[in-house]
Structure 1
Amino acid sequence: MNGYTDNKADLRKRLSRVEGQVRGIARMVDEDKYCIDILTQVSAATKALETVALSLLSDHLSHCVAEASAEGGEVAAEKVREANEAIARLVRS
């Protein structure tokens, strides 16, 4: 079972909203809207995706990493490494 299973409905709802935001941004480009207005919407969609990512990361840490830590050894080390790499990707983006 994935750590996000309990929050799946909320994640899907958030992702559907992001999908709508991105379609709206594409429509704004098609309609030659003002650059700053488009950038504002891109920023909002980016923040919404970051919220999804942070939720997934939190679920991963509290479920997958916590379980692996209880198991210990190489499994725990691998999950911590995986989490560190995911955090690094989020920070760079």
Structure 2
Amino acid sequence: MQVEEQAAGDVIRRLRRAEGQLRGVIGMIEEGRDCAEVVTQLAAVSRALDRAGFKIIASGLQQCLAADETDGEAVAGGTAGDGAPRARTADLDQLEKLFLSLA
């Protein structure tokens, strides 16, 4: 599963913003700024990275749902024991693991 093109652009913008924030945090530390200020900015960087990760996962979920609609849930290779296509089930399992890794 790949990141959809439009979502990739959004994710890249978020990551570049986070990169700039992180450079700012490094500069703050080098300047000897107050710990509270540094930690506040570091938390902002962390949230920005989390949002980028969630955007990637959301894009994957949208792809899975769109594939279900266009395929009528029919996937080459058969279905899992519960009737769900194997590929879709594997994709959803992978997305769940990625989502939980951000928690």
Do Structure 1 and Structure 2 share a fold, with TM-score over 0.5? yes
Amino acid corresponding to residue 10 of structure 1 in structure 2: D
User: How far did residue 45 of structure 1 move?
Assistant: 0.6
What stretches of structure 1 of length at least 5 have no aligned partner? none
Structure 2: how far apart are the matches of 1:86 and 1:60?
Answer: 10
Matched, 1:88 2:88: no
**Contact 1:14–1:48 (CA<8 Å) still a contact in 2?**
yes
Q: Distance in 2 between matches of 1:3 and 1:41?
A: 28
Q: TM-score, normalised by structure 1?
A: 0.83
Runs (4+) off by over 3 Å: none
More helix as a share of residues: 1
- Contact 1:25–1:38 (Cα < 8 Å) also in 2: yes
Instruction: Please list every run of 5 or more consecutive structure 2 residues that lacks an aligned counterpart in the other structure.
Output: 76-83
Q: Percent identity?
A: 22
Q: Which has the larger radius of gyration?
A: 2
- Structure 1, residues 10-56: CA drift from partner, whole Å, max 9, x if none? 22221111100001101111111111100000111111111111111
Equivalent residue pairs, number: 90
Measured on the aligned residues, the alpha-carbon RMSD in Å equals 2.0
